[in-house]
């Protein structure tokens, strides 16, 4: 037997007050003194709340947002919410959104354009006021459809063409230059790079930076970029095969432009019985306890995760609230953290 849904009229009838008064109480914010911020007698407000609780009344936020035109809800859609890089961004963004009175819906696209489209349709159904998206390859039509609903969109971490989008990105090409130059300056000449076989702008820009640094150093003939599968099991085996060949060819160093790629590389070195940095030098990506506990500490590039989250939210909020002027394109810098040795050269910390 279906349970009858309790309405605001039921609460008003039971409490002996008007529907309007119940609405005032249920939609009121709680002040710093713990009292409701509404023009209702405190005793009457307390009676309304008691009746609502006893009857099991739940406020219909979706209906309220449709009436007001505001839901104060946004969505963040990233490739993989379990990825520590994106998980940290979620945490920072949730904090800054909460302080501004916004709720955030989180979802993972799994690098699938079809799933991204389904997720966008779903969150639009929840009346979100804006989207922050780390785009996957080929998703332009999906995001253009969302723009057609007048939903403001901020791109985070990755870029696609379009003047309508806001974007908060990392200067990935400069990070690639920085990593390769560091290895070159420490005497490495056979410097190679491992990446994914995905057309993702953040990775292609890091590759471009690596190649630029190699060309500037006159090492173009030594450039070599290896691409592996995004699937974890395949990637691990492919990385081992790549590093086995690299050791046989006398490769001295690798730039590893994501945390996962760094883990595959470290695992491959261990499987093959090689030592870092004695047998090969790495510049890895993002933060990991594994870099820190390694002796010596492995040089790595840290991205401005908090800045990405806070700046993308602030930009989206301004776009939603139509504040002007809106700076719709920001580029943040990464930090190369150096500690330990490259070969036999002691290096300082850059932090």
Same domain, 310 and 164: yes
Say which CATH number the domain at 24 has.
1.10.260.40
Calpha distance 13→34 (Å, rounded)? 26
Q: Which residues pair with 170 in a beta bridge?
A: 332
Same domain, 151 and 117: yes
Same domain, 207 and 299: yes
Say which CATH number the domain at 97 has.
3.40.50.2300
Same domain, 184 and 210: yes
Q: Is 181 exposed, middle or buried (0-12, 13-18, 19+ CB in 10 A)?
A: buried
Inside any domain, residue 2: no
Q: Are the CB atoms for 17 and 44 separated by under 8 Å?
A: yes
Same domain, 237 and 291: yes
Q: Which residues pair with 106 in a beta bridge?
A: 76
Q: Are the CB atoms for 48 and 22 separated by under 8 Å?
A: yes
Same domain, 290 and 197: yes
pLDDT digits (tens, 9 = 90+) for 43-59: 888 888 888 888 877 76
Inside any domain, residue 1: no
Calpha distance 286→302 (Å, rounded)? 5
Same domain, 176 and 280: yes
Instruction: Report pLDDT for 347.
Output: 40
Same domain, 230 and 127: no
Comparing CA positions, the residue from 5, 73, 4 lying closest to residue 320 is 73
Residue tagged 């609230």 (tokens): 321
Same domain, 340 and 199: yes
Instruction: Report pLDDT for 176.
Output: 97
Q: Are the CB atoms for 302 and 335 separated by under 8 Å?
A: yes
Sheet (strand 253-255) strand order: 225-228, 191-196, 253-255, 281-285, 300-302, 335-337
The 3-state secondary structure of the chain reads: CCCCCCCHHHHHHHHCCCHHHHHHHHHCCECCCCCECCCCCHHHHHHHHHHHHHHCCCCCHHHHHHHHCCCCEEEEEECCCCCHHHHHHHHHHHHHHHHCCCEEEEEECCCCHHHHHHHHHHHHHCCCCEEEECCCCCCHHHHHHHHCCCCCEEEECCCCCCCCCEEEEECHHHHHHHHHHHHHHCCCCCEEEEEECCCCHHHHHHHHHHHHHHHHCCCHHHCCEEEECCCHHHHHHHHHHHHHHHHHCCCCEEECCCHHHHHHHHHHHHHCCCCCCCCCEEEEECCCHHHHHCCCCCCEEECCHHHHHHHHHHHHHHHHCCCCCCCCEEEECCEEECCEEECCEEECCCC
Same domain, 118 and 139: yes
Instruction: Report pLDDT for 127.
Output: 84
The pTM assigned to this predicted structure is 0.73
Instruction: Report pLDDT for 63.
Output: 55
**Residue 115 structural domain:** 70-170+306-332
Q: At residue 343, what are phi and psi to the nearest 5 degrees? A: 65, -120
| φ/ψ bin of 67: left (φ > 0), alpha (ψ from -120 to 50), beta (otherwise) | alpha
Count CB atoms within 10 A of the CB of residue 114.
13
Same domain, 92 and 159: yes
Q: Are the CB atoms for 255 and 208 separated by under 8 Å?
A: no
What is the domain count for the chain?
3
Same domain, 132 and 81: yes
Q: Give pLDDT < 50 ranges for the chain.
A: 1-2, 66-68, 340-351
Q: Which residues contact 297 (CB under 8 A, 6 or more apart)?
A: 291, 339, 340
């Amino acid at each position: 037997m279906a349970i009858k849904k309790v309405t605001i009229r039921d609460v008003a009838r039971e409490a002996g007050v008007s529907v309007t008064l119940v609405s005032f109480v249920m939609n009121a914010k709680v002040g710093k003194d713990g009292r409701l911020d509404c023009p209702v007698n405190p005793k009457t407000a307390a009676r309304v709340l008691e009746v609502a609780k006893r009857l099991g009344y739940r406020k219909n936020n979706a209906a309220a947002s449709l009436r007001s035109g505001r839901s104060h809800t946004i969505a963040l859609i990233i490739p993989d919410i379990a990825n520590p890089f994106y998980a940290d961004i979620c945490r920072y963004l949730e904090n800054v959104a909460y302080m501004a009175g916004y709720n955030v819906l989180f979802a993972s696209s799994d690098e699938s354009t079809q799933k991204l489209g389904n997720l966008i349709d779903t969150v639009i159904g929840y009346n979100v006021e804006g989207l922050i998206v780390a785009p996957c390859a080929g998703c332009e039509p999906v995001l253009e459809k969302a723009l057609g609903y007048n939903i403001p969109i901020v791109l985070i971490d990755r870029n696609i063409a379009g003047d309508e989008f806001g974007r908060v990105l990392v200067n990935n090409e400069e990070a690639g230059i920085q990593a390769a130059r560091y290895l070159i300056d420490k005497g490495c000449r056979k410097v190679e790079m491992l990446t994914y076989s995905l057309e993702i702008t953040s990775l292609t820009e890091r590759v471009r930076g690596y190649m630029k640094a190699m060309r500037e150093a006159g090492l173009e003939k030594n450039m070599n970029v290896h691409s592996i599968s995004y699937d974890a099991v395949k990637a691990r085996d492919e990385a081992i095969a790549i590093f086995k060949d690299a050791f046989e060819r006398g490769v001295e160093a690798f730039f590893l432009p994501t945390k996962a790629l760094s883990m595959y590389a470290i695992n491959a070195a261990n499987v093959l019985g090689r030592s870092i940095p004695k047998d090969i030098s790495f510049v890895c990506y993002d933060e990991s306890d594994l870099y820190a506990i390694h002796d010596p500490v492995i040089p790595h590039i840290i991205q401005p995760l908090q800045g990405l989250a806070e700046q993308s939210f602030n930009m989206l909020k301004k776009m939603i609230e139509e504040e002007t002027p809106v700076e719709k394109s920001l580029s943040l810098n990464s930090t190369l953290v150096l500690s330990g040795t490259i070969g036999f050269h002691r290096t300082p910390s850059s932090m």
